[in-house]
Amino acid sequence: MTLQEYDYARESPSKLAASCLLLALIMKNLGGWTPTLEYYSGYCSQDLHPLVKRLNFLLTYQPRDKLKAVRTKYSHRVFFEVARLTPMDMLKLEEKLKSC
């Protein structure tokens, strides 16, 4: 979904991917940022928190009529319907991030 947003173009692709992974882990209650993930990604959990919050906020946007291709693609079950996920409550996200 960040492909359609210029604000995310300045982010490092590795940091963006790591932040997306952390958000997915939290949203699906699959745990948090482990030492192994920190080692291989090069990012500690605290480095990712601001971007994770922005990504969660991005999920609240309604799709634009002209820019639906990415949302439609990732709404398919082949891609686990990730574009249909509901965003987390920001207070709950803050709580979960503190424990990571």
**Domain spans, the chain:** 2-99
Among residues of the chain, what percentage have pLDDT more than 90?
Answer: 57
Helices (H), the chain: 13-27, 35-41, 45-58, 69-73, 90-98
CATH code matching the domain that covers 2-99, chosen among 1.10.3720.10, 1.20.200.10, 1.10.472.10, 3.40.50.300: 1.10.472.10
Report how far residue 93's alpha carbon sits from residue 53's, in angstroms, rounded to the nearest whole number.
8
Per-residue pLDDT, averaged over 66-70, amounts to 76
Q: 63 or 72: which carries more pLDDT confidence?
A: 72
Model confidence pLDDT, tens digit, residues 22-43: 999 999 889 889 999 999 999 9
Which pLDDT tens digit goes with each residue over 77-89?
A: 998 888 888 899 9
Q: State yes or no: pLDDT of 19 exceeds 80.
A: yes
